[in-house]
Homo-oligomer: A and B are copies of this chain.
């Protein structure tokens, strides 16, 4: 059994006169402590730009624990999200799967209640949530976040549950629509809920699935685009998160990371889905995001043998989103502007701007962002 305070990294025992101090008195001369192996108290920093004066709040609104069919304890979900660099999460265990089936007791709000103290300790914003799941396919899969009591959404039809959640102040996300997408139709339940204004957002990315069609719907139906992990297993074992690999998230452009600010931003649809090195969202937001991230400078000018001038430029990207650029006149060659890197390139001096398609920035199905980069003097 590890001591209760095992997560505390520093222990200033001389200041703490309580008896638990005694437990830690091991002879340091006989023990070699390999602190370089340990990451439990370490959080990575994910670098994203502030856009239009708003902060990029890193969120995952779809997470499961042992209180539905997940593999991790609620506090572990908070800790792994904190380590992974997120600012806010919602745990969304579904009310329809009785946890007691797997030796777990408690009600539909238990995971939230258990996770809350850990979230407060670490300064991670924890948003109360639940997944409304009904057995019939057309029953729908919807996440309700910013609710106050998941119990009241139990044992009633999907649409009643959604309306109860909305009544509690909830924000409703249509989950993994790719599971039921076809060319011309969506399930009736979703259609009715969208018509009544009771669905506010749609997952364009879930786990490892990206739904370009749902991105189109987000624009056409005025839903916020969302990316989530829908994680059931352990996040780092599922995705092999590393310094080079970031877990899927929704970037919410908000004035801060309080629940209120996140909620305001969500209803205002200031969200960008970020997954596997790709961004998906509103073209205006992506445009601002790109130009806030990337900086261009002219470094020098050289001349060829015929005295034609060439300018040498550097494009700087100090953030964690890479950009795959396809210049209009670049002979079909792509250029990757990696995260946290600069690239250099050369153009005839006569060129004053370049039109570039950013292949990993998606604005609609079959549409990527096109930008014009003005070249500095």
Contacts and interface: CB of A to CB of B under 8 A. Distances in A.
Given A42-B338, A43-B342, 6 more contacts: A6-B232, A15-B329, A31-B181, A34-B210, A34-B276, A42-B342
A255 to B, nearest CB: 19
Interface in A193-211: 208-211
Given A18-B306, A30-B181, A39-B239, A75 B71 contact: yes
Interface string A47-66: 00000000000000000001
Interface residues of A, number: 131
A212 B354 contact: no
Contacts of A24: 179, 331
Contacts of A15: 329, 347-348, 350-351
Nearest to A113: B103
Contact of A9 (B6, B37, B104, B344): B344
Given A83-B237, A106-B103, A333 B33 contact: yes
A103 B233 CA distance: 19
B39 A69 contact: no
A121 B31 contact: no
A28 B114 CA distance: 39
Interface of A: 1-2, 5-16, 18, 22-28, 30-45, 66-73, 75-76, 79-80, 82-83, 94, 96-97, 100, 102-106, 110, 114, 117, 120-123, 131, 133, 137, 141, 178-183, 208-213, 230, 232-240, 242-244, 275-276, 299-300, 302, 304, 306, 308, 312, 314, 316, 318, 327, 329-336, 338, 340-348, 350-351, 354
A246 to B, nearest CB: 10
Contacts of A354: 10, 12
A35 B343 contact: no
Contacts of A80: 234, 237
Contacts of A332: 28, 33
Contacts of A233: 40, 76, 79
A94 to B, nearest CB: 5
Contact of A123 (B181, B300, B336): B300
A11 B330 contact: yes
A35 B103 contact: no
Contact of A341 (B42, B312, B335): B42
